[in-house]
Amino acid sequence: MAVVASAIPEKVCGVVMEGRILLLAGDGIGPDVVAEAVKVLECVNACGRRRYQTSEDYVGGAAYDVYGVPLHDDTMAKAKAHDGVLLGAVGGETWESLPFSLRPERGLLALRKGLGLFANVRPAIVFEPLLHASSLKPDIVKGLDIVIIRELTGGLYFGEPRGIQRDKDGQRVGVNTLVYHEHEIRRLARVGFEMARLRQKKVCSIDKANVLEATGLWREVVSALQEQEYPDIALTHMYVDNAAMQLVRCPSQFDVLITTNMFGDILSDEASMLTGSLGMLPSASVGDVSSDGRRHGLYEPVHGSAPDIAGQGIANPLATILSLALMLRSSFLDNDAAHAIEDAVVRVLRAGYRTRDIAPTGGDDAQGVTVVSTQAMGSHVAHSVREHWHA
């Protein structure tokens, strides 16, 4: 594994060890990008008031190769024992012919389910220096700052019955089930409403209530919760097909979007392109808040494992570095460090550094831009964190 755990003593100059982070780099470009987040974390350890200790393990295809399963029970236990998990990516052609239950993706899904991470928070923010990297016109995406909150442990991904069966004529039938219990809808919606309270106080709930009963219930439960507990939040509802269209027509009409597991998977990939590249989008998967105010969570870039570019030094590590910032803020309440990292990312982009996926292809836009490798991008962010901490 490319990632090397940072060895930090239990107490450094009177600073008590604050957090334990499990690194699951996974497959494809996962190890490339997680290694860069570790570089940045080392700067946080060197500069900040808090210290983070890391350990590593395997997930996905990498875990299958070592343990024969995409998520070993011991890895699950380790994930539960850590305060936060930083994951790279899972999947790749190598493991595509395996039975469904052994595929890399099952490891990630088991981790989400096992840790009770029912809400996946996917912010889509357009960084001003990347305005021209979006495939949409700059005036449509300028200043964009929306959050998609995707239900993560229910719906079509987990509903029973599922599988491939035979009907009475011997034909094969593929079955998945869309199922939502009221409490699953309510707890997800609550995350959305709470987040909206800290933002523009607008929630748009995405469903397909005109066709699917399960999402008809979704709409009903979300509306009732808003009336009872969140009258200060402006709630609207939208069918998913319309939402897909509105996201590219006028994305700034949204603030917080809440939706089902499957719809959220699709819409968040779409939203990532508003920001210029899938390589820019971080995500946080969170469960309930514990009594000390912390949220146990799994943090991962939205992009996949991109095996075709793994190990070549061209993957964009920023989504993973930004996922680390989300972790420090959300699981460790370390706003200082989260800000330091996010500001460093903006400074590095302003200075013109780009990985290939966010680099302009030519013309005036290419002026002042330097295309850098995965490792150089990580080093620039780390350097900037170090230079500007508390400046």
Q: Mention every residue, 6+ apart, whose C-beta is less than 8 A from residue 178.
A: 155, 156, 159, 212, 214, 215, 260, 262
36 binds Mg ion (CB under 5 A): no
Catalytic residue among 32, 39, 207, 208: 208
Q: Output the CA torsion 106→257→249→244 (10° steps).
A: 40
300 binds Mg ion (CB under 5 A): no
Q: Could you say which of 61, 91, 129, 155 contacts ligand IPM (CB under 6 A)?
A: 91
Of 35-43, 140-148, 254-262, 263-271, the segment contacting Mg ion by CB under 5 A is 263-271
334 binds ligand IPM (CB under 6 A): no
Active site residue 137: no
Which of 323, 325, 345 minimizes the C-alpha distance to 336?
325
Count of CB atoms situated within 10 Å of the CB of 117? 21
270 binds ligand IPM (CB under 6 A): no
Which of 69, 48, 112, 113 minimizes the C-alpha distance to 299?
112
Give the interface size with ligand IPM as a residue count (CB under 6 A): 7
Pairwise CA distance, residues 258 & 17, whole Å: 36
Q: Mention every residue, 6+ apart, whose C-beta is less than 8 A from residue 13.
A: none
Residues of this chain, 265-284, that bind Mg ion according to CB under 5 A = 265
Q: How far is the CB of 78 from ligand IPM (least distance, A)?
A: 20
Catalytic residue among 241, 288, 308, 365: 241
Q: How far is the CB of 6 from ligand IPM (least distance, A)?
A: 26
Catalytic residue among 157, 180, 299, 353: 157
Q: How far is the CB of 122 from ligand IPM (least distance, A)?
A: 8
Tokens of 201: 């106080």
Active site residue 208: yes
- Cα–Cα distances (Å) from 382 to 51, 70, 210, 303, in that order, read 16, 31, 49, 21
Of 10-18, 102-110, 130-138, 166-174, the segment contacting ligand IPM by CB under 6 A is 102-110
Q: Which does 37 bind (CB under 5 to 8 A by kind): ligand IPM, Mg ion, none?
A: none
CB-closest chain residue to ligand IPM: 105
Give the active site residues: 157, 208, 241, 265, 269
